[in-house]
């Protein structure tokens, strides 16, 4: 069974349809990138999975557990609070803006959620934080405040912070688009390392070369619809839909 199953998702904002019948099935260990023009619904789709938006139709299951479904009369039913919370804990999210806690050091930023949400003891969390900060190359910055770090460093802390909760899937929404070009590489390298570790990931990105390199599958979305999906090879060397072709010609 697919690890993530998003079926026929519908979403409207103020009577404007933003997602039309969008489906995604993905397995554990798979890496899916979502590309497409601005306003096509990429973030909204990701946010529906991350419980940051509610859906107006369709169904979402994760690891066989139903987050939300729609009955035959079109009524949408979300799972109970506990189930929603349990599912949320299994996902890590990283956005364009890093949203680190400014009044906490790097280390505190990483330790706070395991401490507060999972009631872990500091002695348990510390080795995890050390391993993760080493992984993203920032152990030596552990006692600094976020404002003293570059954007790329802050984003790597944000990734380590998400990983500290030991998620089974990571959702990235344009993790490098707020960064100066010279800082995107270090963040992409960190995500690439997660790919090498077979982390399950959905990545919304405008970094075409990165998407091509790291993904098992690419989804091209436009106007709230999946226009085309396939392997990076297929999408980048032999796109079928004229929309995909036009988009890629513009981007590459
Ligand atoms: N909270 C909201 N309220 C009203 N409209 C919204 C809201 N969030 C998104 N939209 C609209 O939904 C559509 C899809 O937006 P979304 O942010 O998902 O696009 P995107 O593909 O992520 O674009 P980008 O590449 O610019 O990030 C847009 O028309 C946007 O204006
Ligand atoms: Mg977006």
d(CA 52, CA 197): 27
Convert the pLDDT of each residue in 142-178 to its tens digit: 999 999 999 999 999 999 999 999 999 999 999 999 9
Sign of CA dihedral 245, 179, 137, 170: negative
Residue 15 CB–ligand 1 contact under 6 Å:
no
pLDDT of residue 18: 98
pLDDT of residue 252: 72
d(CA 214, CA 194): 10
- The residue written with tokens 């436009």 in the block is 222
Residue 227 CB–ligand 1 contact under 6 Å:
no
Q: How many other CB atoms are there within 10 angstroms of residue 148's CB atom?
A: 12
pLDDT of residue 28: 97
Helix, coil or strand: residue 141: helix
pTM of the model: 0.96
Give how far the C-alpha of residue 192 lies from the chain's centroid of Cα atoms, to the nearest Å.
Answer: 14
pLDDT of residue 174: 97
Q: Which atom of ligand 1 is nearest to the CA of 45?
A: 18
Inform me whether the pLDDT recorded for 7 exceeds 80.
yes
What share of the chain has pLDDT > 90, as a percent? 98
Give how far the C-alpha of residue 34 lies from the chain's centroid of Cα atoms, to the nearest Å.
Answer: 10
The token pair at 50 is: 């991350």
pLDDT of residue 37: 97
Which ligand is closest to the CA of 172, given by its number?
A: 2
Higher pLDDT, 252 or 251: 251
Contact 94, 159 (CB under 8 A): yes
Inform me whether the pLDDT recorded for 251 exceeds 90.
no
Convert the pLDDT of each residue in 109-148 to its tens digit: 999 999 999 999 999 999 999 999 999 999 999 999 999 9
Ligand 1, atom 6: closest residue by C-alpha: 13
pLDDT of residue 1: 86
- What is the 58 CA–ligand 1 centroid distance (Å)? 19
Chain mean pLDDT for the chain: 97
Task: Give the least confident one: 161-165, 222-226, 248-252.
Answer: 248-252
CA atoms within 13 A on the CB side of 239: 17
């Amino acid at each position: 069974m697919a690890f993530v199953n998003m079926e026929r998702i519908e979403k409207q904002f103020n009577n404007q349809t933003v997602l039309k019948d969008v489906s995604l099935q993905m397995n554990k260990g798979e890496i899916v990138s979502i590309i497409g023009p601005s306003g096509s619904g990429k973030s909204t789709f990701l946010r529906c999975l991350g419980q940051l938006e509610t859906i107006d139709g369709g169904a979402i299951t994760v690891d066989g557990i139903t987050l939300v479904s729609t009955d035959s009369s079109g009524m949408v039913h979300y799972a109970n609070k506990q189930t929603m919370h349990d599912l949320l804990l299994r996902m890590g999210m990283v956005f364009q803006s890093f949203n680190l806690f400014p009044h906490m050091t790097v280390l505190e930023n990483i330790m706070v959620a395991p401490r507060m949400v999972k009631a872990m003891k500091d002695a348990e969390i510390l080795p995890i934080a050390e391993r993760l900060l080493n992984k993203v190359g920032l152990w030596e910055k552990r006692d600094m405040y976020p404002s003293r770090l570059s954007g790329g460093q802050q984003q790597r802390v944000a990734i380590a912070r998400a990983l500290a909760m030991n998620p089974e899937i990571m959702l990235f929404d344009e993790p490098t688009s707020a960064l100066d070009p010279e800082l995107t590489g270090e963040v992409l390298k960190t995500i690439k390392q997660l790919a090498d570790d077979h982390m399950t990931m959905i990545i919304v990105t405008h970094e075409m070369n990165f998407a091509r390199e790291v993904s098992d599958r690419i989804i091209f979305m436009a106007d709230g619809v999946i226009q085309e999906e396939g392997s990076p090879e297929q999408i980048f060397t032999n796109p079928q839909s004229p929309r995909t072709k036009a988009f890629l010609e513009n981007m590459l």
